[in-house]
Amino acid sequence: MDISVDIKASQNRDKKLIIAQAAQSLITPDDAIIIASGSSVTAFAEILTPRNMINVVTPSLGIAVILNEKENVKVMVLGGEMYQNSLSVRGSYTEAGLVNVSCSKLFIGCDGINLETGITCSNLAEASLTTAMMKSCTQTVVLADSSKFGRRGFGKIGNVEDIDIIITDSGIPSTMRKKIEDLGVQILIAD
């Protein structure tokens, strides 16, 4: 179900902020990144304070407004059909805006991380856009609190092994952590 980003923002807020701090450590000087839409990556945008100028591409109008207020951030907003619950754009027009984009990292949230069904979100349009954003980046970083493990959403973004890094909290089940790391995915525990 596609729940409002405002409702999702209040769920596990403390964990999202800790995960966001860990995500910031991956930003390098003069970086170019994509930040998707969702509550976990919005928390990341809220705390992001780069020391040097970075370029950020986003389909989220909420994230674009947050980043517009920050120093050392140049924001490129993708166009497309607006979705009310996420305050973001999706669709073929949005994906076409990625054609000439080359970034180091894509930061995404998700509704579920499941070894059988992969990384999922609430709907197919968001999954399609996320897959397109992955093709424009060297690395894909998932920001997900431990409640997302073992769950699944409707739209499949990709298999677990398609992800490079997952940043989560210490509540991740140890057996699942080992299985994910065995697939070659780096897991960073934010404390």
| Rounded CA separation 145/112 (Å) | 10
pTM of the model: 0.93
Parallel, antiparallel, or unpaired: how do β-strands 54-58 and 32-35 relate?
Answer: parallel
Please report the pLDDT score of residue 191 as a whole number. 85
The residue whose two tokens read 């405002």 is 6
Alpha helices in the chain (DSSP H): 5-10, 13-24, 39-47, 61-68, 92-96, 124-135, 174-182
Region 160-175: mean pLDDT is 97
Considering only residues 13 and 159, tell me which one the structure prediction assigns the higher pLDDT. Answer: 159
What's the full length of the chain, in residues? 191
Least confident of 5-14, 62-71, 82-91, 142-151: 5-14
| Rounded CA separation 151/190 (Å) | 20
